[in-house]
Amino acid sequence: MFEERYNKDQPAVRKMAERMASDSPQNFPSLDDFAAIYGEEAIAMMARGGLLAALWDIGIDAVPVSIEGSTPKGLKWKRNSDNA
Protein backbone atom coordinates (compact mmCIF):
# COMPACT_ATOMS: atom_id res chain seq x y z
CA MET A 1 0.00 0.00 0.00
CA PHE A 2 2.87 2.39 0.79
CA GLU A 3 4.27 2.11 -2.76
CA GLU A 4 0.86 3.01 -4.25
CA ARG A 5 1.45 6.50 -2.85
CA TYR A 6 4.18 6.98 -5.47
CA ASN A 7 2.24 5.65 -8.47
CA LYS A 8 2.36 7.95 -11.52
CA ASP A 9 -1.42 8.39 -11.39
CA GLN A 10 -1.52 9.69 -7.82
CA PRO A 11 -2.49 13.39 -7.61
CA ALA A 12 0.65 14.38 -5.65
CA VAL A 13 2.93 12.68 -8.19
CA ARG A 14 1.08 14.27 -11.12
CA LYS A 15 1.24 17.69 -9.45
CA MET A 16 5.00 17.36 -8.90
CA ALA A 17 5.51 16.29 -12.53
CA GLU A 18 3.51 19.29 -13.74
CA ARG A 19 5.52 21.62 -11.50
CA MET A 20 8.77 20.21 -12.86
CA ALA A 21 7.50 20.43 -16.45
CA SER A 22 6.68 24.11 -16.00
CA ASP A 23 10.32 24.66 -14.95
CA SER A 24 11.71 22.73 -17.95
CA PRO A 25 14.50 22.46 -18.96
CA GLN A 26 16.45 21.88 -15.75
CA ASN A 27 19.86 20.46 -14.88
CA PHE A 28 20.89 19.41 -11.36
CA PRO A 29 24.48 18.14 -10.95
CA SER A 30 23.49 16.21 -7.82
CA LEU A 31 20.34 14.85 -6.26
CA ASP A 32 21.04 17.12 -3.27
CA ASP A 33 20.64 20.09 -5.62
CA PHE A 34 17.39 18.59 -6.91
CA ALA A 35 16.11 17.96 -3.36
CA ALA A 36 16.90 21.55 -2.36
CA ILE A 37 14.38 22.77 -4.95
CA TYR A 38 11.77 19.99 -5.05
CA GLY A 39 12.16 18.28 -1.65
CA GLU A 40 12.80 14.81 -0.30
CA GLU A 41 9.32 13.67 -1.27
CA ALA A 42 10.19 14.26 -4.94
CA ILE A 43 13.31 12.11 -4.45
CA ALA A 44 11.12 9.31 -3.06
CA MET A 45 8.68 9.67 -5.98
CA MET A 46 11.58 9.48 -8.42
CA ALA A 47 13.28 6.53 -6.71
CA ARG A 48 10.09 4.47 -6.94
CA GLY A 49 9.61 5.33 -10.62
CA GLY A 50 6.26 7.10 -10.44
CA LEU A 51 7.63 10.59 -10.97
CA LEU A 52 9.73 9.60 -13.98
CA ALA A 53 6.72 7.82 -15.52
CA ALA A 54 4.46 10.82 -14.87
CA LEU A 55 7.03 13.14 -16.48
CA TRP A 56 7.23 10.87 -19.53
CA ASP A 57 3.44 10.84 -19.82
CA ILE A 58 3.36 14.64 -20.10
CA GLY A 59 6.22 14.81 -22.60
CA ILE A 60 9.31 15.28 -20.42
CA ASP A 61 12.52 13.25 -20.74
CA ALA A 62 14.38 12.94 -17.40
CA VAL A 63 17.85 11.39 -17.37
CA PRO A 64 21.01 11.42 -15.24
CA VAL A 65 23.35 14.36 -15.83
CA SER A 66 26.31 12.00 -15.94
CA ILE A 67 27.40 8.45 -15.16
CA GLU A 68 30.40 7.78 -12.91
CA GLY A 69 31.34 4.14 -13.36
CA SER A 70 27.93 2.50 -13.22
CA THR A 71 26.35 5.12 -10.94
CA PRO A 72 24.03 7.80 -12.33
CA LYS A 73 24.70 11.31 -10.98
CA GLY A 74 22.29 14.22 -10.85
CA LEU A 75 19.19 14.74 -12.95
CA LYS A 76 18.26 16.77 -16.00
CA TRP A 77 15.06 17.03 -17.98
CA LYS A 78 13.58 18.73 -20.99
CA ARG A 79 10.48 18.52 -23.13
CA ASN A 80 10.53 15.69 -25.68
CA SER A 81 9.99 18.27 -28.44
CA ASP A 82 13.31 19.93 -27.47
CA ASN A 83 15.09 16.93 -29.03
CA ALA A 84 14.36 18.12 -32.58
- pTM of the predicted model over 0.95: no
Would you say residue 21 lies in a domain?
A: yes
- How many domains does one find in the chain? 1
Of 50, 56, 75, 53, the C-alpha closest to 64 is 75
Contacts of residue 9, defined as CB under 8 A and 6 or more positions apart, other chains included, come to 54
One-letter amino acid of 82: D
One-letter amino acid of 4: E
Domain that holds residue 26: 3-79
Which pLDDT belongs to residue 79? 85
Would you say residue 35 lies in a domain?
A: yes
| Cβ pair 58, 21 in contact under 8 A | yes
**What does the angle CA 28 – CA 47 – CA 56 come to, to the nearest 5 degrees?**
75
Percent of the chain's residues with pLDDT above 70? 93
Would you say residue 84 lies in a domain?
A: no
